[in-house]
Amino acid sequence: MRASSEADLPTANHIVRRPENQIYEYVRRVPRSVAHLDRRPKVRHSLGTRDFSVAKARAAVVEEGLNQFWSALLQGDKAVDATDRYRAATKLAHSLGFSYRTMQEILSEANPREVLSRLDAALEHDTRGTEGAVEAITGTAEEPSPRLSDLWSLYERNRRAYLSSLSPNQYRKHETPRHRAIDYAIKVMGNKELRYISRADVIMFRDWWVDKMEREHLRADTINRSFSDLKGMITVVDETMLSHFGDVWAKVRVKSTARTKSRKWLPYDGDFICKNFLVPGRLDGLNIEARTVVYLIIETGARPSELCNLRGVDFVLDAKIPYIRVTERDDRRVKTEYSYREIPLVGCALWAAKELIKQQPAGFLRYADKEDYLSNVINAFLRQNKLRPTPRHVLYSFRHSFQDRILAAGAPDRLQTDLMGHEFDRPDYGAGASLKQKRDLLNKIKFPWPLGDVKAANEEPRAG
């Protein structure tokens, strides 16, 4: 190997050797974009070595710290509100080697050495005129005090990466219940600052919810979902501001009773499916997309939201083992990372998939990102055509039936979770079930399918 040279380092121009002692130092002019905040003409930092390879490594650390420092300075300068400025101050303190503490915390909790270190650093930056750094080091940045009405905007700002991955419909379904939870909290407690919400306020709010539940015959899950949405948003604020607003919201879930417990959908019986759904022409009242979803969910157990968002490329029908794939998308999130999977097509599912792609090579169009609309259309058809043995039988019941069928067939837990898109609650070793293993299981449990013609109707369902 050849010896290192100064040209190897992209920042080599910032590493110079002092002539009087041959020790390397890092020298860099303050960027023009931040010069109004850091008034030093140049940054000089001794690297404490005559060995260039050592100097090279130390210079990289110095440069990273400088870039973080300047970035935090700019963030504070551009901040439009107290929350942004406070967050910038915490980052700035970190870039200078300190955790952000308020002045009161420094004086009451820090040891004398830390106090002196902070004072020395504050004096140095005060001399330079870097006011933001002084506030960050001494903990005197203005502490924001957001109100309940600020929760969504703060949450939205600090969860951009997650929210940007949602489809428009997913975003709406994520946002709407959180706005509703905030509105209920303000109705009961007033638009309080988060720091002034007490445990007594939270208990009063829970009592209001319990009264509402009894009065309106609501399920306990409705209350707990509202609390969960509020706590989730407050947690994001706490993480951003290093605050503890969420402490008073701990352990507020309402225990469900037999009356208030959410009722699960019931699975369809296998004989009922064969006699009522797998008869040629029985589902002709549904348009081809809705009909295809029913046939697919019967033999794949996939979620309706996964099926109605399949594109043409997600149907692999010319392979030795035809299958559909639930895969990552730029414009939509799947439920969990375990939802990514490939599901073989057998029986009515394979037939229906071929018919759909023959007529619509692009896959599902009408119900893409409209899974609620799809469910309403199909459930209305089931109700109108007396295909719901009880009110607890709906489209999703086919997924429950599929789970029961693969369980009854003796499928190992790992194979079940790979097909259902669930988390496997053990150490995740290996690649999981193969397509052939899945296909063999599905062939074992598939329903008989008498071939029939699919109508090309695209009408909404008609009553039977």
Residue 54 is assigned to a structural domain of this protein: yes
For the residues 206-219, what does the mean pLDDT come to?
A: 91
Rounded Cα distance, 423 and 434, in Å: 17
Residue 264 is assigned to a structural domain of this protein: no
Q: Are residues 156 and 114 in the same domain?
A: no
Could you tell me the two tokens for 150?
């600020």
Q: Are residues 98 and 66 in the same domain?
A: yes
Higher pLDDT, 35 or 289: 289
Written in H, E and C, the secondary structure of 149-196 is HHHHHHHHHHCHHHHCCCCHHHHHHHHHHHHHHHHHHHHHHCCCEHHH
Rounded Cα distance, 73 and 50, in Å: 32
Q: Are residues 96 and 227 in the same domain?
A: no
Beta bridge partners of 25: 16, 46
Residue 341 is assigned to a structural domain of this protein: yes
Residue 458 is assigned to a structural domain of this protein: no
Rounded Cα distance, 277 and 190, in Å: 53
Residue 166 is assigned to a structural domain of this protein: yes
User: Look-up: residue for tokens 């919201």?
Assistant: 249
Q: Are residues 121 and 152 in the same domain?
A: no
Residue 425 has pLDDT above 70, yes or no: no
pLDDT the model gives residue 431: 63
Least confident of 37-46, 183-192, 313-322: 37-46
For the residues 169-179, what does the mean pLDDT come to?
A: 93
Q: Are residues 206 and 307 in the same domain?
A: no
Q: Are residues 419 and 345 in the same domain?
A: yes
Q: Are residues 314 and 245 in the same domain?
A: no
Rounded Cα distance, 287 and 276, in Å: 18
Residue 79 has pLDDT above 70, yes or no: no
Rounded Cα distance, 443 and 311, in Å: 25
Q: How confident is the model at residue 362 (pLDDT cuts 50, 70, 90)?
A: very high
Could you tell me the two tokens for 281?
């022409």
Residue 105 is assigned to a structural domain of this protein: yes
Q: Domain boundary at 84, 113, 138, which?
A: 138
Q: Are residues 118 and 152 in the same domain?
A: no
101-149 per-position pLDDT tens digit: 877 788 787 788 888 888 888 787 766 656 667 777 787 777 778 899 9
Q: Domain boundary at 197, 219, 249, which?
A: 249
Residue 211 is assigned to a structural domain of this protein: yes
Q: How confident is the model at residue 329 (pLDDT cuts 50, 70, 90)?
A: confident
Q: Which domain holds residue 355?
A: 270-445
Contacts of 272 (CB under 8 A, 6+ apart): 389
Beta bridge partners of 43: 28
User: Look-up: residue for tokens 């509100």?
Assistant: 81
Q: Are residues 153 and 127 in the same domain?
A: no
Rounded Cα distance, 151 and 243, in Å: 14
What total of structural domains would you count in the chain?
Answer: 3
Q: Are residues 406 and 359 in the same domain?
A: yes
Q: Are residues 439 and 296 in the same domain?
A: yes
Q: How far is CA 141 from the centre of its chain?
A: 31
Q: Domain boundary at 114, 138, 162, which?
A: 138
pLDDT the model gives residue 378: 97
Q: Are residues 307 and 414 in the same domain?
A: yes
CATH number at residue 333: 1.10.443.10
Residue 7 has pLDDT above 70, yes or no: no
> Are the C-beta atoms of 199 and 248 separated by less than 8 Å?
yes
Residue 68 is assigned to a structural domain of this protein: yes
pLDDT the model gives residue 260: 55
